[in-house]
């Protein structure tokens, strides 16, 4: 069953900025769906519309079958959000934040306390429980914000660049948490600039550029956009002995031809699997070319 359905969604801000144009996609239950795009591409606008924080201008979007504009109340009880650049109150502790959010959202005091402890232990925040967030590192602060979102065990989680500022271990903790949640049937929609994050987490992804969806599909499909996706590197065996060529063959015949040429020249030939970053640059670059033409 689809948790999110978006059809021809568009958004023009009151001052005339067009942020989204005719976006259509679906997200299934338990899926991790990544929105990729450059700064200002429209990712956050799209996420905010689906999280019922922003009104769309055209088209239709439903979450759990409920319209995001007219039935927002039914959606809000089942979602949680980590907004972009959200930050905790410096004079409150991590424990205060998580506990109070539970209480505000209607948990009983005893349930809120128990859940706060559980979440803080899972995120390795318990040892910092009494410290003011002013005394925590940037990564720990971000973990506090993510813990707030996990507090209510949502069915759908919106994460807007959730691992910005986290160290590599902190990022992996968040990824592990997201994977654990999706195993329990939680759906995740996240925006990110980190291609490795999308590569590791996404079941499917959409690339948004200048408000348009320029790619929709799986990670491997994205990587295969530039042909078979394989890169062949021909380089001298000794350093500083000639130039280095990076080639993207379009067919198996072309691969054989390149390899033969490299070996004939006595150079080293290596294969590099395609990366999501290459695909992203190729797709977004293509869309820039289309805009300019």
Q: Which residues bind another protein (CB under 8 A)?
A: 14, 48, 51-55, 72-73, 76-77, 79-92, 96, 100-101, 103-106, 132, 148-149, 152, 158
Question: Whole-angstrom Cα distance, residue 70 to residue 52?
Answer: 10
**Least distance to another protein, CB of residue 244, Å:** 46
Q: Which is nearer to another protein, 91 or 238 (CB)?
A: 91
User: Do the beta carbons of residue 111 and residue 102 sit within 8 Å?
Assistant: yes
Q: How far is the CB of 125 from another protein (least distance, A)?
A: 18
Please state the closest distance from residue 259 (CB atom) to another protein, in A: 53
Q: With respect to another protein, which residue has the nearer C-beta, 159 or 222?
A: 159
Question: Of the two residues 51 and 207, which places its CB atom closer to another protein in the complex?
Answer: 51
Structure tokens at 156: 């759908």
Q: In Å, what is the CA distance from 129 to each residue of 73, 110, 116, 287?
A: 32, 17, 10, 47
Strand partners, 20: 11
- In whole angstroms, the minimum distance from the beta carbon of 87 to another protein comes to 6
Alpha carbon distances (Å) from 128 to 42, 109, 120, 181: 36, 21, 9, 24
Q: Which two tokens stand for residue 148?
A: 């707030």
Name the helix (H) or strand (E) containing 254: helix 252-264
Among residues 101 and 219, whose Cβ is nearest to another protein? Answer: 101
Tokens of residue 260, six digits = 């033969």
| Interacting residues of 290 by C-beta distance below 8 A, sequence separation 6+ | none
Quote the least distance from Cβ 72 to another protein, whole Å: 7
Q: Report the residue number, 7 or 130, with the smaller CB distance to another protein.
A: 130
């Amino acid at each position: 069953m689809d948790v999110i359905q978006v059809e021809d969604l568009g958004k023009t801000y009151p001052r005339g900025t067009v942020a989204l144009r005719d976006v259509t996609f679906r997200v299934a239950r338990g899926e991790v769906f990544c929105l990729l795009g450059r700064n200002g591409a429209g990712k956050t606008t799209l996420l905010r519309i689906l999280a019922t924080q922003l009104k769309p201008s055209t088209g239709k979007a439903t979450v759990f079958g409920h319209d995001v504009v007219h039935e927002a109340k039914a959606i809000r009880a089942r979602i949680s959000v980590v907004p972009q650049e959200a930050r905790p109150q410096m004079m409150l502790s991590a424990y205060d934040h998580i506990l109070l959010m539970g209480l505000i959202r209607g948990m009983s005091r005893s349930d809120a306390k128990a859940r706060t402890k559980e979440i803080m232990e899972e995120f390795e925040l318990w040892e910092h429980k009494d410290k003011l967030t002013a005394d925590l590192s940037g990564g720990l602060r971000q973990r506090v914000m993510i813990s707030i979102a996990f507090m209510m065990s949502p069915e759908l989680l919106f994460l807007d660049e959730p691992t910005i500022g986290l160290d590599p271990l902190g990022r992996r903790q968040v990824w592990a948490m997201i994977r654990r949640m999706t195993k329990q049937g939680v759906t995740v929609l996240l925006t990110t600039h980190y291609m490795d994050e999308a590569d590791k987490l996404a079941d499917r992804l959409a690339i948004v550029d200048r408000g348009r969806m320029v790619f929709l599909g799986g990670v491997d499909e994205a990587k295969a956009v530039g042909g078979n996706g394989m890169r062949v590197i021909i380089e001298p065996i000794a350093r500083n002995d000639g130039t280095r060529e990076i080639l993207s063959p379009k067919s198996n015949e072309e691969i054989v031809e390149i390899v033969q040429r490299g070996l004939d020249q006595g150079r080293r030939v290596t294969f590099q699997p395609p990366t999501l970053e290459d695909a992203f640059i190729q797709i977004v670059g293509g869309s820039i070319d289309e805009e300019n033409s």
